[in-house]
Structure 1
Amino acid sequence: MSARILVVDDIEANRRLLKARLEAQYYTVLLAENGMQALGMAKEEQPDIILLDVMMPGMDGYEVCKRLKADNQTAHIPVVMVTALNDTEDRIRGLDAGAEDFLTKPFEDFALMSRIGALTRYNSVAAELRQRQASGLKDELNENLLQRIRDKPARVFVVDDNPRSSARIADMLRSGGHNAVTLIEAGGLSNLAEQGVDILLLSMLSDRFDALKLCAHFKSNEATRSLSILLLCDPEDQQRAGKGLELGASDVIFSPVDRQELLARVRTQARRARYIDMLRERVDRGLELSIIDQLTGLYNRRFMMNQLESFMRRAVMGGAPVSVMMADIDHFKSVNDTYGHDAGDEVLVEVARRLKSNVRALDVVCRPGGEEFLVIMPETPGDLACAAAERIRQAVAAQPFSVNKGEREISITVSAGVGTILGPDDTVSDLIKRADVALYQAKSSGRNRVENQAA
């Protein structure tokens, strides 16, 4: 999987070297020689990943990273801090600035490519989710979102059959504020998804199990596919570590385990996992907003038309008939004029509730707009649809409606019209018009009644 990578370094030799190493692996490389140039190129070029040198004159890498993460146009781009400094404080400072990862010079090709590969895989998921929700919830952006995922404790399951090393790693994680459980403590690997595990720390040093087989198993199982897997391996075993990354592992950490590096890697994986979860949540919410009427919780006109098209296609191709009931609240304007629009909303919500309580599981209850409701009745001929409509009408009229937060009770009725498919040449428009004509007849005949154009 290729990617466009922006390399930011004030030393030309470093830029050229990184460019050559990345292009040898078929990545597209962009170059910037200072912080201001990097900010402009990031916004204009929208690279997939930024490799950002820390020690630059004028604006250092920390400040560049902060500005990138503060800008809505570039906040989503993963940043890897590249530094010759090996102090823990420098690493933590980079992560605090918003960087997703870090590399300490000099670094081997394996370290560079494993970080790039992990971020590229993460990017492909995140980019797809961002694209799917792009037209929806644009106002809930960075700071609120990042605040919810930043520095939240991770739930880590340590898979290592060595009691001493697994206990040591668990203690490191707990000292960093994370929740850690070892394989020995848990007694097995069952129900990982149900336990709410975020990260699986999988030791490749064990002789009792094949860590790569476990990695492949977890990534092929739908219940555990979304788990982040952090591989613990020997520095001399880079070939197998690379295979683990190909199988879907998110990152690699080498033994002996350094506490600060472990905490930094776990922190990064937890951030990524929660960011993806949040994007999925936003996509799901955006999808819901596109088909659900927010006041009543019923399906909206857009969803209604799509469903009608689908049921009509089946019906005209020889399937079971489909009918619709169109209902309208009687004298609804006077409710709003007399008791206020809040009372009108209460009436709409209660009518929706009574409709949903008096239809079958396969029926689709919709609110096309205003005080109008429509129920799609699949596999229903006209006579049964009329009986169902009468049941709904009676349910609405049976009990008074509580409005103004319970201070008043008023009587509400609905008029309804029923239409059904009559032949293979029928269209959705024909079906809706039939129900609409029947509804007009019900209104003209005194309201609080059902009329039909179902036969």
Structure 2
Amino acid sequence: MSVQGTILVLDGTSTNRIMLKVQLTAAWYHVVQGERLHGLAGLLRRTKPDLVLTSQHLPDGTAAEVKKLVMADPDLIDVPVVAIAPQNDKAARLKALSDGLDDVLAHPFKDTFLLARVRSLLRARAETQELQVGTTSHPIGFAESSTAFIAQPKTARVAILTQSPRTGALWQAALSKQTRLALSVHTSLNLRGILSGPVPDAILFEVSANPPNHNLLADLKSRSTTRHTVLIGILEAENAELASEVLDRGADAVCLAGFNTEEVLLRLDNQIARKTRLDQMRASLRRGLVESWVDPLTGLHNRRYAMRAMDQIARQSARSGEGFALMLADLDHFKTINDTFGHIGGDSVLTEAASRMEKTVGSAGFVARIGGEEFLIGLSDTTQAKALTLARSLCNCIRDTPFELPDAPAPIPLTISIGLITTRTAKPLKPHQPAPLERLIKSADTALYDAKSAGRNQVRARQSAA
């Protein structure tokens, strides 16, 4: 039997625990049981649940206290905690949401709705885990723990999407007293307003069985602009089957039994807080990925990128039989600039030189800074003649225009030396037989040394039989 995840069920009544275990086990979840708050911290550490379902009141505590214990463990901070409240107990439902529970389910509930909500919550957790680094709770780029406070936007954009303008106007009027919400109203038949305007943080949408609007969710989830927007469905009646379908189609939460202002606001607060955290994690991840490939001073690619890129170029050449080129370039007598004008002056020269080389190479290849004043240039699908022409253009772009420095009485002349290695166009190699990259770099380095020894400000070329 395939186990899809571990769910911890907490309830002081054994029959309730047994019933939930039967429902969840039948859906191939591994179920762990507990009955009280005492000893829960140890149970959490041992079982590492993916989801916690807890009665709102335990013999020695509450669902809110369960949530605090889960949040106290950095490894479990993204584990959803769902309270189970009595049927038709509106106050209990609102209390659970106000206490920060991820959701509240009214007991008894149908298997279909329970399992749909479980799937939805586990998907949400999986999304968070994908943004984590390794097995830690620190997203890339965050020095602080992910438990650190993340402020929500001062004004959240919320789009209201209803079948009729009248319903939308009523919902807008009910929520308009909340100044932290920027509201807009649209009808389900016309999404242009949502898709063409500012991207909303959340969309409240009316769930209708007749005519069904289920395709709306698939549409919103498929678009890059609204893929991460919070989607909260409002059902007019207690329709578990319809609610289950809405959750499985991508809704983040549903409100049963009609529009309730207080519940909607609580769910908006909870879901937008989660979205804010994930948005910041995504931004941090993107920054981390960029920083791992980019030289922070010049904005060029760095050594790590260059090695990967050259490996790919070599492998592509092995498949196609087309030649490629690798250059190592070094600014001549750069130490003198640093000694005379300091590292600020040296950095200015490096940045300008990088810009010139990148512009000269253009779409023909890439330029990477791999050392202090050393650069690597990679060209795919080229010949030695073409590569030599480009290498000489690189020498010219550095030599022909002296460098302006604020503290220099006159522009500073500078030259560059280049070692070039090219591969001959030959019979395509097998995909697992690319030209050995280390050997090519060593050959280019030898050619660079030859250019330096010959007086600098020139290109020396070699050819490989790769």
What TM-score bracket applies, with the shorter chain setting the length? 0.7 to 0.9
Secondary structure of 2:169's counterpart equals helix
2:74 matched residue in structure 1: 72
- Deviation for aligned residue 1:368: 2.0
Contact 2:150 2:276 in 1 (8 A): no
Aligned-partner Cα distance in 1 for 2:110–2:243:
14
- Could you tell which deviates more after superposition, 66-75 or 162-171? 66-75
Paired-residue identity, %: 30
- Deviation for aligned residue 1:364: 0.8
CA, structure 1 residues 328+191, in 2 after alignment: closer, same or farther (shift >3 Å)? farther
Aligned-partner Cα distance in 2 for 1:109–1:152:
39
2:181 matched residue in structure 1: 178
- Deviation for aligned residue 1:444: 0.8
CA, structure 1 residues 153+399, in 2 after alignment: closer, same or farther (shift >3 Å)? same
**What root-mean-square deviation, in Å, do the aligned CA atoms of Structure 1 and Structure 2 show?**
3.2
2:442 matched residue in structure 1: 433
2:145 matched residue in structure 1: 141
2:158 matched residue in structure 1: 156
CA, structure 1 residues 401+37, in 2 after alignment: closer, same or farther (shift >3 Å)? farther
Aligned-partner Cα distance in 2 for 1:220–1:57:
45
* Residue 273 (structure 2) pairs with residue 280 (structure 1): no
- Deviation for aligned residue 1:11: 4.8
Q: Which runs of structure 2 are paired with 1:218-367 in the superposition (5 Å)? A: 218-221=220-223, 224-367=226-369
Amino acid at match of 1:211: N
CA, structure 1 residues 50+437, in 2 after alignment: closer, same or farther (shift >3 Å)? same
Aligned-partner Cα distance in 2 for 1:435–1:279:
41
- Deviation for aligned residue 1:443: 0.9
Q: Which runs of structure 2 are paired with 1:401-420 in the superposition (5 Å)? A: 401-402=403-404, 406-408=406-408, 410-420=412-422
1:204 matched residue in structure 2: 207
Aligned-partner Cα distance in 2 for 1:53–1:341:
64
Amino acid at match of 2:145: L
Cα deviation code 1:150-192 (max 9, x no counterpart): 47544222221333321121233333332221115x9921263
Contact 1:324 1:432 in 2 (8 A): yes
TM-score between both structures, scaled by the size of structure 1: 0.85
Amino acid at match of 1:137: G
Contact 2:36 2:58 in 1 (8 A): yes
* Residue 123 (structure 2) pairs with residue 121 (structure 1): yes
Secondary structure of 1:73's counterpart equals helix
Aligned-partner Cα distance in 1 for 2:440–2:78:
47
* Residue 99 (structure 2) pairs with residue 94 (structure 1): yes
Cα deviation code 1:293-331 (max 9, x no counterpart): 222222222221222222223334444321122111222
- Could you tell which deviates more after superposition, 373-382 or 67-76? 67-76
Aligned-partner Cα distance in 2 for 1:107–1:238:
8
CA, structure 1 residues 235+318, in 2 after alignment: closer, same or farther (shift >3 Å)? closer
2:432 matched residue in structure 1: none
Consecutive unaligned residues of structure 1, counting only runs of 5 or more, are none
1:444 matched residue in structure 2: 453
- Could you tell which deviates more after superposition, 347-356 or 273-282? 273-282
TM-score between both structures, scaled by the size of structure 2: 0.83
- Deviation for aligned residue 1:366: 1.0
Aligned-partner Cα distance in 1 for 2:94–2:245:
32
Consecutive unaligned residues of structure 2, counting only runs of 5 or more, are 430-434
Q: Which runs of structure 2 are paired with 1:385-396 in the superposition (5 Å)? A: 385-396=387-398
2:50 matched residue in structure 1: 48
Secondary structure of 1:287's counterpart equals helix
Contact 2:116 2:245 in 1 (8 A): no
Aligned-partner Cα distance in 2 for 1:115–1:316:
51
Contact 2:349 2:403 in 1 (8 A): yes
Secondary structure of 1:374's counterpart equals strand
- Deviation for aligned residue 1:140: 4.0
Q: Which runs of structure 2 are paired with 1:2-41 in the superposition (5 Å)? A: 2-35=4-37, 37-41=39-43
Aligned-partner Cα distance in 2 for 1:152–1:29:
40
Amino acid at match of 1:203: E
Cα deviation code 1:190-214 (max 9, x no counterpart): 263443023332223475x531232
